[in-house]
Amino acid sequence: MTKKSNSEKLYHKAERVLAGGVSRNTVFRQPYPNYANTAAGCYITDIEGVERIDFANNMAALIHGHAFPPVIEAVIEQLRKGTAYTLASEIEVAYAQHLIKRVKSFERIRFVNSGTEAVMAMIKASRAFTGRSKIAKAEGTYHGTYDFAEVSQTANPSNWGDIDHPSSVPLAHGTPISVSNDVIIFPYNDIERTLAILDQQADQIACVIIDPVPHRVGLMPGNAEFIEAIYNWTRRNCSLLVFDEVITFRVNFGGAQENYSVKPDLTSLGKIIGGGFPVGAIAGRADVMKVFDPHEKNLLLPYSGTFSANPVTMTAGYKAMEYFDKKAVTQLNKLTQTAIKQIHEAIQLADVPVSVTGAGSMFRMHLRQKPPTSYREAYQSKEESTVVKELLDYMYNHENILMINTFTCMLSTVMTQNEIDRLTEGLLHAFKALKPKIDKLKITTERLKK
């Protein structure tokens, strides 16, 4: 009889108290998840004693990896003073000042507790400011777990409709039809089609939400021409251009928006700005942010939150972002480019049809010769998803490397060339081991095109 692992035994306990045995589907893996014991820098050790290099960094949230000493020391000091008050705190003000100095489009800011909440508040603020109810978002984009933000997040060939008029597809069963009716879907990076779609309901759109490097779409940056066209459309039609930079704020010192000549009216933030703790934020134009202002006689958007701007998160986030200065951003992005170059070499050596997309300190691999340019091109068939899972399992079980389940890596500042070499050597082994299955996908794709 095979002895059960510690993780298997713990999971059987978890199934009796947690729905599905987990609180986050992203940590589940068949037949049961592994459980972390300790983590430091870019390494995690599970309760079986296996150490792995972490290229997931808690879904892009840990810019300095695990247990970053300056953050830990600052948080311990704050813990002795208290964790949350029904009073404001000095660190909240100091951190707001730091972020506003960092990004040109930030005039005012509000802190919340997650990226999902930040996007939700950004949508509500847009509606409050414009007096309109509808929003527009790109097909396939992930903007958290708010009903309106979820629409068409996982649209597929059976329901996504015509490319000239993509369907608004709800994610969760039981989502009210009214939600889909208030969300307009457009194809990312397609100027002509997007403007035509927006024009049809121009007087009803409160905001157009853009993720500058949308992970679920394919992790390809928004073209400058596309972003500028959307910005100009919002100016003509009294709408707002809002950015979701929950993931992409790591791309540059001032976020991915630093790459564009136009600036969003509002931006939602999360992940790295929490220094390893739950966080979200909405920042942008002072006149738009006034919808939150309790001084207003006609307060358009009353908004609070028990743990919003709690001093522990503010302390951790401020310290993390202080260390993610221009020098650190440049070094990390350079290391990422080295990783991508070495991955291309591994692809050539293994002779497999794989391409890489990304920006800043993040990249995603696709099982196709040419990098996809749209959500529909990047969409994974059931067969492709199966091979991607096998590649991820190979990396996890044989190379001791943890990646994000879309075959994506999010790097941290504590990584070195050693970890990059381990990653690329591991990928070479994985590509060679699964080459027959990857090659078969290429043949199937070519037949479908014919």
User: In this structure, are 341 and 358 located in the same domain?
Assistant: yes
Question: What's the whole-number mean pLDDT along residues 131-135?
Answer: 98
Q: Are residues 165 and 216 in the same domain?
A: yes
Task: Indicate which CATH number applies to the domain containing 277.
Answer: 3.40.640.10
In terms of domains, do 317 and 339 share one? no
Whether residue 99 lies inside any domain: the answer is yes
What is the pLDDT of the chain when averaged over all its residues?
96
Model confidence at 105, pLDDT cuts 50, 70, 90, reads very high
- The amino acid occupying position 294 is P
- Evaluate if residue 29 carries a pLDDT over 60: yes
Residues in CB range of 384: below 8 A, 6 or more apart: 367, 441
What integer pLDDT is reported at residue 21 of this predicted model? 93
Instruction: Give the chain's domain count.
Output: 2
Query: pLDDT by residue (tens digit) across 188-230?
Result: 999 999 999 999 999 999 999 999 999 999 999 999 999 999 9
Q: Is a pLDDT exceeding 60 seen at residue 450? A: no
In a domain, 22, yes or no: no
- 202 and 270 in a single domain? The answer is yes
Active site annotation includes 379:
no
Residues 169 and 264 in one domain: yes
Say yes or no: 118 and 202 in one domain: yes
What is the secondary structure of 51-100 as a DSSP string? EEEESSHHHHT-TT-BS-HHHHHHHHHHHTT-S--SS--HHHHHHHHHHH
pLDDT in tens, 346-369: 999 999 999 999 999 999 999 999
Structure confidence at residue 448 (pLDDT):
43
Predicted local distance difference test score (pLDDT) of residue 114 = 98
| Catalytically annotated residue among 271, 303, 319, 379 | 271
Checking if the pLDDT of 415 tops 90, the result is yes
Report the range of poorest mean pLDDT among 22-31, 66-75, 112-121, 349-358: 22-31
Classify 330 as helix, strand or coil: helix
The answer to whether position 139 is within a domain reads yes
> What confidence category does residue 1 fall into, taking pLDDT thresholds of 50, 70 and 90?
low
Give 263-279 pLDDT, tens digit per residue: 999 999 999 999 999 99
DSSP letter at 20 equals G
Task: Classify residue 197: in a domain, yes or no.
Answer: yes
What are the CB-based long-range contacts (under 8 Å, 24+) for 435-443? 435/350, 435/351, 435/352, 437/387, 437/390, 438/352, 438/353, 438/354, 438/367, 438/387, 439/352, 439/353, 441/353, 441/367, 441/368, 441/383, 441/384, 441/387, 442/353, 442/367, 442/368, 442/369
pLDDT of residue 443: 58
> Residue 161 has what pLDDT?
97
Domain for residue 27, yes or no? no
Decide if pLDDT at 445 tops 80: no
To the query of whether residue 297 is one of the catalytic residues in this protein, the response is: no
Find the mean pLDDT for residues 364-386: 96
Q: Are 301 and 345 members of one domain?
A: no
2 within domain boundaries? no
> Do residues 50 and 198 share a domain?
no
302, 323, 344 — which closes off a domain? 323
Q: In the chain, what percentage of residues exceed pLDDT 70?
A: 98
Answer yes or no: is pLDDT of 444 > 70.
no
Does residue 163 sit in the same domain as residue 83? yes
Is the domain of 258 the same as that of 364?
Answer: no
Of 290, 307, 323, which marks where a domain is finished?
323
- pLDDT(418) > 80: yes
Closest Cα to residue 207, out of 308, 306, 133, 107? Answer: 133
Instruction: List, edge to edge, every strand of the sheet that includes 51-54.
Output: 36-40, 43-46, 51-54, 401-402
Tokens of 260: 């564009």
The single residue of 95, 142, 231, 260 carrying the catalytic annotation is 142
CATH of the domain at 364: 3.90.1150.10
Catalytic residue, candidates 190, 211, 244, 265: 244
> Which residues constitute the domain of residue 239?
69-323
Residues 198 and 340 in one domain: no
Active site residue 43: no
117 and 278 Cβ atoms separated by less than 8 Å: no
Pair 305, 352 in one domain: no
pLDDT digits over 312-344, tens only? Answer: 999 999 999 999 999 999 999 999 999 999 999
Residue 169's identity, in one-letter code, is: V
Among 323, 358, 393, the domain-final residue is: 323
Q: Is residue 26 part of a domain?
A: no
Does the residue 25 lie in any domain?
no
